[in-house]
């Protein structure tokens, strides 16, 4: 399959027609992956994905373009960041995501909600109930232990992350890098 350059990613060329091998002009670019769909279902924001992948939001947006022809190494990085089987990121047909991946995404969202309730519980009774719910979710699915609550305002950052932000902004000023994009609001 031929590929053309597009902002650092290769977009798939439309398949050629049977007459002369020239590309069909009325063909929409073919979907190659469903990274954006999986990321959104997992409740992961663009900014968080960029942080996990060690890149910027603009590159994440380019890679999420369903017709972007990504390198295998990039797909493996996405697979690790989203914690899903690689085949779930690839589009072979118009089938929906597999049941285990959909159920995991639902569990992650449920855990985020329970953790947010625990964090902002107005009474001791609600806090105990939320704690019980969080503990039961972790018992059912131990990998949920590290799931953070939904962000109420902005993004919570550790001291290390705050230091990295300052360094990033300093390097942007000195090297005239474009400013980082804002996230798309997906959690």
pLDDT tens, 129-138? 999 999 999 9
Q: Within a domain: residue 144? A: no
Which residue has tokens 């590159």? 59
Question: How many whole angstroms separate alpha carbon 59 and alpha carbon 26?
Answer: 28
Q: Within a domain: residue 140? A: no
pLDDT for res 18: 44
Query: What is the number of structural domains in the chain?
Result: 1
Residues in the chain where the model's pLDDT stays below 70: 1-29, 92-95, 152-187
Q: Within a domain: residue 182? A: no
Q: Within a domain: residue 50? A: yes
Q: Within a domain: residue 161? A: no
pLDDT for res 70: 85
pLDDT for res 104: 87
Which among 36, 33, 41, 145 is positioned nearest to 99, based on CA atoms?
A: 41
Give the global pTM. 0.44
Q: Within a domain: residue 130? A: no
Q: Within a domain: residue 33? A: yes
CATH assignment of the domain containing 57: 1.10.260.40
Q: Within a domain: residue 112? A: no
Question: How many whole angstroms separate alpha carbon 138 and alpha carbon 142?
Answer: 5
pLDDT for res 139: 94
Q: Find how far residue 91's CA is from the centre of its chain.
A: 16
Question: How many whole angstroms separate alpha carbon 11 and alpha carbon 22?
Answer: 17
pLDDT for res 160: 57
pLDDT for res 171: 53
Rounded (10°) angle between helices 35-42 and 57-64: 120
The answer to whether 185 touches 153, Cβ cutoff 8 Å, is no
Domain assignment of residue 79, given as a range: 1-96
């Amino acid at each position: 399959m031929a590929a053309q350059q597009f902002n650092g990613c290769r977009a798939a060329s439309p398949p050629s027609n049977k007459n002369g091998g020239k590309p069909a002009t009325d063909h929409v670019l073919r979907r190659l992956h469903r990274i954006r769909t999986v990321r959104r279902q997992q409740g992961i924001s663009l900014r968080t994905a960029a942080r996990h992948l060690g890149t910027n939001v603009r590159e994440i947006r380019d890679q999420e373009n369903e017709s972007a022809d990504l390198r295998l190494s990039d797909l493996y990085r996405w697979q690790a960041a989203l914690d899903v089987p690689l085949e779930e990121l690839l589009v072979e047909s118009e089938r929906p995501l597999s049941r285990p991946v959909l159920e995991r995404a639902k569990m992650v969202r449920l855990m985020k909600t329970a953790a947010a309730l625990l964090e902002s519980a107005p009474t001791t009774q609600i806090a105990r109930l939320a704690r019980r719910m969080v503990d039961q979710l972790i018992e059912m699915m131990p990998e949920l232990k590290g799931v953070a609550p939904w962000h109420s305002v902005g993004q919570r950052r550790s001291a290390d992350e705050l230091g990295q932000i300052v360094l990033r902004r300093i390097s942007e000023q000195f090297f005239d890098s474009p400013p980082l994009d804002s996230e798309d609001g997906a959690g």
